[in-house]
Structure 1
Amino acid sequence: MLTLNQPHVSRAANLLVWLSCCILAGSTFIIYLGLGQSSGQGVVMPLDDAYIHFQYARQLASGQPYIYNPGLPPTSGATSFLYPYVLAIGSLLGFSGQNLGVWAMAVGFAALALCGWLIYRFSLGCGVPLWIAALGGFAFQLHGAAAWHAASGMETMLATLFLLWLLNALLQSQHRAAIVAASLCALTRPEGLIAAGAAMLVLAGQNIASVEGETFFTRLKNSLRLTSGRWLALLIPFAAALVQPAVNYLLTGSAVASGNAAKSLFGIIPLDLSVIAARIAENFVRMWREWVTSSGACGMLGRL
């Protein structure tokens, strides 16, 4: 089974790194909050999408789920299923009006602190020295893109947190934690189902590898017989992914969220598969260039 090497690290060292993650995230939160309120108009989110989530969250907290404006029929404009419920908690706690943005930022920066901690733990498990592992987590937290997403009022930092949790759980062979994290990925973002599906394939491979057998099919048969509960549990993230379309269909008559339809390449009119394929390839190349080779960051430094 694929597991991480977990070196012995003192409790004091772990506590120091965790407190540092919290201090970094908290300090950045205060800076962003202060800058946002410097205009005297309250916290303003950089994207209009955040306010769509905010409105659905307010309506959810008031007992009118999926109704964007009172008196109108239900709609499915929120791309994320889970995030409006997270925001609704803030609305119930008294974060009203533009102050709901403060709650959204608090959630984002709490997720940022946890992301830094997970990167630290993952790096330790890979045999990285403690100080480098800690710096890796801190560097992520201090990266402008990560801080921006934490302050954006959107669900992207939560999605990042669940993805990091899923990766750590997989590499440590934590079966239950991986299923929970995969389910949260699918509930937070529609494309989270891709990560969840890939994770379930890894867990399926671990299930097969955990039993004896001369051939692959013998191992598969024995695994299905001896660990049937684990195999059934692999369906949970897929069931979680069906929650949003099921609720959309029950409330609006359409399984597809209107927000997803408006942003999907497959929603372009007229439908042109060559354009769709070209856009997907373009996005993949850009992702590779900016995320893997860091050319985006190098280009920014070169222009300074």
Structure 2
Amino acid sequence: MSYGVAVSVLDQNRQALLVTTFGVLVTSAYLFVSLRASPDGHVAVPQLDSLIYQQYARALAEGHPYRFNRADTPSTGSTSHLYPVVLALLHAAGFKGPTLWDAAFVLHAFFYLFFLNLVFRIARQVLSDGALFAALAVALSGQTAAVFFGQTDMALFTVLFFWLWLMLARHRYRTAGILLFFLPLARPEGAVLAGVLFLAAAAARLQDQERHRLMAVALAGIAASLLVAAVNMRLTGTPFFDSLRGKNLFVLFPFWTALSTSVSNFVELLKALLLGIGAAGRGFYNLPLVGIFLLGAAVTRGWDSSALRNPLRSWLLISMLVSLIGVAQSDWAGLMFDRYLVWIEAVVVLLAAIGTYCLQGAPDAEQGGLRAGRILRTLLAAWLTAGSLWHLAAFAAEARRAAAAADFAKKATASMRAGAAVGMTCDSGLAYLMENHPVVNLSGIVTPAFRGQGHLLSAVEWLKYHPAARFGYWLVPRAHAGFPWLKPLLGRRLTWQASPSETESLVLYEAAWKALDRWKGPAPNLVPRGWECTGRLDVGYREDEVAAHYRIRIREPDVRLDPVVVVRGDTEPVLEIGRFVLGQEWYSLPVREEKPLKIVLRTARRFTVPFYASLPRMELREVELNRVIRLRVIGAGRATEHELDLGEEMGVVDRVIDFGMVPPGTERLRIGVIGDHLSLAYWFYQPSGS
């Protein structure tokens, strides 16, 4: 079935030109706000995440690919192998520094206009004269334009996806195979598209020849996905991108908490995409309430078009669903990161626009149906226009913030020693503007040294034992400077960014490490003379926890317990990282058989706990334990009860647990400590000699 009136080739060309002209107007609006946000006459960097790609691109162009800093080991924090290559070509062509932002804006403008042309051609597969409105509706989608001009890998991925969709609809399988090969190189979602296409082709009722061609196309994408995994494995020892690891809710949180949060995120995304209901900009993703009927009409009544027939319809819908589930499981779910949904949102707007024609019926339909279609198109266009203005304003605000941060980062380098490294807790893309100052990000996304630490506090504890990895400065948001774990590590404040917002204002500090270097071992008078340490577990230090097979079991099955921080502030600050044990902990350390053993426990009564009241929002809470804690120590087949008096001291204290004689034949002793307590460190002490 075809909807609308047949359009001549000349009119089609005129309509395509009109779509391009409208796209140029949208591009001009984003160029205007980008120039207004910039302090130096160049296009403003649209968001600080964009600089991460540009830093990797510069590294590639300068001959040290996948190294965020020249001296780093490889990392895959860009989530894309293809997009940094594209930017690296611009860099190699002479576009460096702020001029790369100018060139990238032109590149993304080309992406955007080409994308709109692809949308128009796909709409032509379903509609006749309605393709113009469908393409203009997508151009009016504020989220789509904002993401394209946000200069990330999602723009390139979206262009490749719509190009692939068009080639599949036109049975151009050779070109489709090439495009699907590049999609996993552009973004991990390309692997989803390839896998779902293979299954959809295998399950569809097709002639063998067409099925085999579609499966061959899918196999090209699957081969590229395996290549990506192999490259990642070669670079970092894992098939996954560094930027994706550690963000999945099921990795970060207990199962039921992760499940409930994922379901909640998924429902919110569906409400925005299907019903046009959501907070802030998400409410403009579709026409409120009516949108779901427009989508249904497009999918069910456009079944005989080459773009929406099976297996393409199944491939499209299932791929979108799987990707939505993936985003819903992310710890970084939120409006800013809805850029990962841009290709889905563009499909939704396109189908909604097509649906307005499908609901009105064929060209010879009754006047009532035609009138209803025109009303729906008017409402959809008006709503998308409002959303476009909202997203343009949000883009302008983010560009101003990013431009101000970038300008401050360039000026901050004048306050630092030449070549000195700087530590950051976020916005590590600013490294692009501090070329002679290596940036260390404790999250591990772009700094391989912290890969696998799992938490910023564990990264801090790692620095206790690796002083060579420490840095000379901290560049952090003003709000982060008050964190209990960070405050003792901040030295003299050198310069700061003038901003009314505490969360956006950056401050440069000298780094101070003395708080980490104090109290490494227990007081010598705690154990008898002639005894020596045979084993150590510094809780919170990942390497010690792995070596000791450390496990924590809590009695609350749905609570996340992050590392905790203790700051003792008598005369000089002492920073200790550990874990709050609500239940029991188990570990093993080497021992000498048939010798007495004393266990030194480092603990404290008062400490700060990262508490998750509702995911992903985190609060810092103070906890104070009773003066006397009761522990049950299990090891070597026996259990003993211990009462430890922590005294009035609220800071770090060490207490001794007399375990008794180690049984014969025991080389490593497995210990369980049961009872609510703060666990900072354990030492095993035994008499000297073999």
TM bucket, shorter chain: 0.7 to 0.9
Q: Which residue of 2 aligns with 1:289?
A: 271
| Residues 235-288 of structure 1 deviation map (CA, whole Å, 9 limit, x = unaligned) | 2111111222222222233332211114333442xx422233223322322222
Measured in 1, the distance between the counterparts of 2:57 and 2:196 equals 31
Q: Which residue of 2 aligns with 1:241?
A: 225
Measured in 2, the distance between the counterparts of 1:284 and 1:151 equals 26
1:169 equivalent to 2:151? Answer no
Measured in 1, the distance between the counterparts of 2:213 and 2:14 equals 39
Q: Secondary structure at the match of 2:240?
A: coil
Q: Secondary structure at the match of 2:235?
A: helix
Question: How far off is 1:179 after superposition?
Answer: 2.5
Q: Which has the higher contact order (CA 8 A, sep 6+)?
A: 1
- Checking the alignment, whether the CA contact within 8 Å between 2:31 and 2:43 is kept in structure 1 is yes
Measured in 1, the distance between the counterparts of 2:258 and 2:189 equals 17
Counterparts of 1:21-100 in structure 2, within 5 Å, are: 21-38=19-36, 39-41=38-40, 42-100=42-100
Question: How far off is 1:68 after superposition?
Answer: 0.9
Counterparts of 1:222-301 in structure 2, within 5 Å, are: 231-232=215-216, 234-268=218-252, 271-295=253-277, 296-297=283-284
Q: Which has the higher helix share?
A: 1
Q: Which has the higher strand share?
A: 2
| Residues 159-196 of structure 1 deviation map (CA, whole Å, 9 limit, x = unaligned) | 22222223333333332233333333322211222122
For residue 146 of structure 1, the aligned residue among 133, 144, 147 is: 144
Measured in 2, the distance between the counterparts of 1:161 and 1:176 equals 18
**So what's the TM-score if we normalise by structure 2?**
0.37
Measured in 2, the distance between the counterparts of 1:167 and 1:280 equals 29
Seen in structure 2, the aligned counterparts of structure 1 residues 233 and 138 have a Cα distance that, compared at 3 Å, is: closer
Question: How far off is 1:9 after superposition?
Answer: 4.9
Q: Secondary structure at the match of 2:243?
A: helix
1:122 equivalent to 2:122? Answer yes
- Checking the alignment, whether the CA contact within 8 Å between 1:25 and 1:110 is kept in structure 2 is no
Q: Secondary structure at the match of 1:95?
A: coil
- Checking the alignment, whether the CA contact within 8 Å between 1:196 and 1:237 is kept in structure 2 is yes
Seen in structure 2, the aligned counterparts of structure 1 residues 81 and 122 have a Cα distance that, compared at 3 Å, is: same
Measured in 2, the distance between the counterparts of 1:97 and 1:287 equals 37
Seen in structure 2, the aligned counterparts of structure 1 residues 4 and 77 have a Cα distance that, compared at 3 Å, is: farther
- Checking the alignment, whether the CA contact within 8 Å between 1:119 and 1:137 is kept in structure 2 is yes
1:101 equivalent to 2:101? Answer yes
Seen in structure 2, the aligned counterparts of structure 1 residues 37 and 227 have a Cα distance that, compared at 3 Å, is: closer
Counterparts of 1:182-193 in structure 2, within 5 Å, are: 182-193=180-191
- Checking the alignment, whether the CA contact within 8 Å between 2:195 and 2:218 is kept in structure 1 is no
**So what's the TM-score if we normalise by structure 1?**
0.80
- Checking the alignment, whether the CA contact within 8 Å between 1:175 and 1:203 is kept in structure 2 is no
Equivalent position amino acid for 1:70 in 2: R
Equivalent position amino acid for 1:286 in 2: E
- Checking the alignment, whether the CA contact within 8 Å between 2:46 and 2:150 is kept in structure 1 is yes
The number of residues matched between the two structures is 282
Seen in structure 2, the aligned counterparts of structure 1 residues 179 and 276 have a Cα distance that, compared at 3 Å, is: farther
Equivalent position amino acid for 1:181 in 2: L
Measured in 2, the distance between the counterparts of 1:81 and 1:12 equals 40
| Residues 36-59 of structure 1 deviation map (CA, whole Å, 9 limit, x = unaligned) | 222333333343221111100111
Seen in structure 2, the aligned counterparts of structure 1 residues 18 and 64 have a Cα distance that, compared at 3 Å, is: farther
Equivalent position amino acid for 1:243 in 2: L
Seen in structure 2, the aligned counterparts of structure 1 residues 80 and 101 have a Cα distance that, compared at 3 Å, is: same
Q: Which residue of 2 aligns with 1:214?
A: none
Seen in structure 2, the aligned counterparts of structure 1 residues 241 and 279 have a Cα distance that, compared at 3 Å, is: farther
Asked which structure has the greater CA Rg, the reply is 2
- Checking the alignment, whether the CA contact within 8 Å between 2:147 and 2:155 is kept in structure 1 is yes
Which blocks of at least 5 consecutive residues in structure 1 are unaligned? 212-222
Deviates more, 1:143-152 or 1:107-116: 107-116
Q: Which residue of 1 aligns with 2:335?
A: none
| Residues 20-44 of structure 1 deviation map (CA, whole Å, 9 limit, x = unaligned) | 3333333332332232222333333
Q: Secondary structure at the match of 1:67?
A: coil
- Checking the alignment, whether the CA contact within 8 Å between 1:186 and 1:193 is kept in structure 2 is yes
- Checking the alignment, whether the CA contact within 8 Å between 1:119 and 1:164 is kept in structure 2 is yes
| Residues 92-134 of structure 1 deviation map (CA, whole Å, 9 limit, x = unaligned) | 22221122222332232222222222222222211x232x211
- Checking the alignment, whether the CA contact within 8 Å between 2:177 and 2:218 is kept in structure 1 is yes
- Checking the alignment, whether the CA contact within 8 Å between 2:194 and 2:221 is kept in structure 1 is yes
- Checking the alignment, whether the CA contact within 8 Å between 1:4 and 1:171 is kept in structure 2 is no
Q: Secondary structure at the match of 1:261?
A: coil
Equivalent position amino acid for 1:33 in 2: L
- Checking the alignment, whether the CA contact within 8 Å between 1:197 and 1:238 is kept in structure 2 is yes
Equivalent position amino acid for 1:14 in 2: Q
Seen in structure 2, the aligned counterparts of structure 1 residues 91 and 197 have a Cα distance that, compared at 3 Å, is: same
- Checking the alignment, whether the CA contact within 8 Å between 1:104 and 1:154 is kept in structure 2 is no
Measured in 2, the distance between the counterparts of 1:18 and 1:232 equals 32
Coordinate RMSD, CA, aligned = 3.1
